[in-house]
Amino acid sequence: MLLLSPSFGYIMVVETEGIMLVKEICAFITATVSVLMAYFAVYYVIGFLARTRAYPETDKRRRFAIITAARNEERVIGNLLKTLREQDYPAELFDIFCVADNCTDNTASIAREGGAHVYERFDPSRARKGYALEFLFKNIERDHGIASYDAYVFFDADNLVEGDFLTQMNRALESGADVVTGYRMASNFGENFIAAAYGVHFMRSSAFSHRPRALLGLSTHIAGTGFAVKSDLLTEGWKYFSLTEDTEFTMSVVSRGKKIAYCEEARFYDEQPTTMKIAVRQRLRWQKGRLVCFFKYSSLLIKGVFTKKGRKALSCYDMFFYLFPKSLFNFVMALVAFFASLSAFNAGGVLSSVASAYASFALIGALTVVRELKNIPIRGARLVWYVLLFPWFDLVALPLSLVSLCMRVKWKPIPHEGKVKNEEKTACR
C-alpha cells in the first residue's frame, strides 16, 4: 500500500489551486479585453445596414501632388499613370512624382514617359518604402517646396484609379479632414482564392471599419495606399520608417488629435498576392510592423484618451484597440490555458475551438460579400468557394504573430504582374 504523507498531499492541493488560479486569471483578462472591445460589434451592425454619405460638391479646387514609390515595377506603373492622366480633375492642378527605388529595370524611364517627375534612389542598405518616401519628399522640398501643394495623394505602382478619384478626394478634404482614405478593391479578385481573400479583407475594412467610423465622426486608419494628406502634416517630410509605415503614420496622426476621414466614392484597385509564399511573407511583415507600432504608440494613444476631448479622445481609444495585437493576445491566452490544463488535455476541445474560429471567420467573410456584392467581379459557385476558404487569411495571423516576436523581419517588395489593365478595371466593379 502506498501511503501519502501530509506534506505531499499539501503540495498536490497547492498545485491544483495554482492551475485553477491561472485559468481564472486568463479568463478574467480575456473577458476584460472582450468587454473593452465589444463596441466593434456595433461597427458590424452599422457597416452592414448603413450607407456612407457622399461629400458635397465644391467650387474649391486643391492643388495635388501624387506620390508613388516603385521598385522594379515596369510591368505595372504605366497602367497607374494612364489612369491618373485620365482623371476628370484639371490637369494643371496635379503633378505626379515617382521615386524609382533601387530599380534594376525600366521603371524610371516608363514613369518619365508617363508624365511623372522621377527621382532615382540607390541605397540597398535602406531598402524600405519609408526611406524611399523620405528621399522623395526631400527632393520635392528642394525643387518645388512641399507647401506649394495643398495635399499629397499616395499610390502604389500597381494601383488603378477611378477617373473621379481626385475630385472625390477634393470634396472630402473640403469637409475639414486632415487625411482621407479611399475605397480599396482587388484588381485580380477572381484570379485565385488567395487574391480573393485579400479582396474580401479590404472590403471588410471598408464596410465594417472605415464606414462605421465615418458615420460616427471618428478617425479611421490608412492601409498602405489610396489616401490623401494635407501638406501641413508633411512640412518636415516623411518621418515614418517602420515595416508598416502606414500604421505608424495613422497612429501619429490620431495621437496628435488629427482627423482621418473615409471617402467611399474615391475608389481604386490594387493587385494582390496569388501565392501562399508571398502572402505569408507579407502577413508576417504586417504582424511584426503592427507589433512594433503598438509598443511605440500605445502610451500616446492612452494619454490621448484622457487628455483630449470628445471624438478625438474616442478615436485614440478606438485606434488603441485597432492596433492591439489581438492575434498574439489570443494565441498567448490559448497557450497558457493549454499548458495549465495539460494533464486534462482534450484533443476534441482543441479541434472544436479551431472549428468555431473557422466558422466565425467564414461568417464574417460571407457578411462582407453580401454587403459589398456589387463591387465583386465574380458570382456563383466560385465566389461561394472563395468565401468558404477565406478563414485561412485570419487564422494564419495567429501563428505568425508569435513568430514575429522571435525573428527579424525584413521588408521585401511584393512582385506584381499587371495582368489587369486600365481598360479592364471597370470589370472589377
Distance (Å, rounded) from C-alpha 370 to C-alpha 381? Answer: 14
Element (H, E) at 161: strand 160-161
Query: What average pLDDT does the chain have?
Result: 89
Element (H, E) at 133: helix 129-143
Task: List, for residues 59-101, the tens digit of each pLDDT value.
Answer: 999 999 999 999 999 999 999 999 999 999 999 999 999 999 9
Distance (Å, rounded) from C-alpha 156 to C-alpha 282? Answer: 15
- Would you mind telling me the total number of residues written for the chain in this entry? 429
Name which of 122, 128, 7 is nearest 69 in CA terms.
Answer: 128
Distance (Å, rounded) from C-alpha 201 to C-alpha 367? Answer: 12
Distance (Å, rounded) from C-alpha 47 to C-alpha 207? Answer: 5
pLDDT confidence of residue 203: 97
14 or 329, which is more confident:
329
DSSP 6: H
DSSP 208: I
Which of 49-58, 268-277, 347-356 is predicted most confidently?
A: 268-277
Is the CB of residue 192 less than 8 Å from the CB of residue 383?
Answer: no
Task: List, for residues 232-258, the tens digit of each pLDDT value.
Answer: 999 999 999 999 999 999 999 999 999
Task: List, for residues 278-315, the tens digit of each pLDDT value.
Answer: 999 999 999 999 999 999 999 999 999 999 999 999 99
pLDDT confidence of residue 340: 63
Distance from chain centroid for Cα 53? 22
> Which residues share a beta bridge with 269?
160, 185
Q: Has residue 349 got a pLDDT over 70?
A: no
The C-alpha cell that represents 223 in the structure block: 492601409
Burial classification of residue 141, based on how many CB atoms lie within 10 Å of its CB (0-12 exposed, 13-18 middle, 19 or more buried): middle
Is the CB of residue 121 less than 8 Å from the CB of residue 87?
Answer: no
- Cell 502577413 locates to 283
398 or 250, which is more confident:
250
Residue spans of alpha helices (H) in 156-309: 165-174, 193-205, 211-216, 245-255, 276-307
- Cell 503592427 locates to 290
pLDDT confidence of residue 339: 66
Distance (Å, rounded) from C-alpha 248 to C-alpha 179? Answer: 14
Is the CB of residue 320 less than 8 Å from the CB of residue 301?
Answer: yes
Q: What are the CA-CA distances from residue 302 to residues 101, 128, 257, 295, 307 (Å)?
A: 36, 29, 12, 12, 9
Distance (Å, rounded) from C-alpha 170 to C-alpha 179? Answer: 11
295 or 424, which is more confident:
295
Is the CB of residue 399 less than 8 Å from the CB of residue 235?
Answer: no
pLDDT confidence of residue 347: 59
**pLDDT band of 427, cuts 50, 70, 90:** very low
Distance (Å, rounded) from C-alpha 402 to C-alpha 409? Answer: 13
pLDDT confidence of residue 338: 66
Distance (Å, rounded) from C-alpha 303 to C-alpha 299? Answer: 6
Task: List, for residues 143-201, the tens digit of each pLDDT value.
Answer: 999 999 999 999 999 999 999 999 999 999 999 999 999 999 999 999 999 999 999 99
3-state SS assignment for residue 410: coil
pLDDT confidence of residue 6: 42
Complete domains list, the chain, with CATH: 64-192+209-272 (3.90.550.10)
Is the CB of residue 272 less than 8 Å from the CB of residue 195?
Answer: yes
Which residue type sits at 299? S
Q: Tell me what percent of the residues of the chain surpass a pLDDT of 70.
A: 90
Distance (Å, rounded) from C-alpha 160 to C-alpha 184? Answer: 10
pLDDT confidence of residue 268: 97
Angle, helix 245-255 to helix 129-143, in steps of 10 degrees:
60
Distance (Å, rounded) from C-alpha 182 to C-alpha 326? Answer: 25
**pLDDT band of 29, cuts 50, 70, 90:** confident
The C-alpha cell that represents 306 in the structure block: 484622457
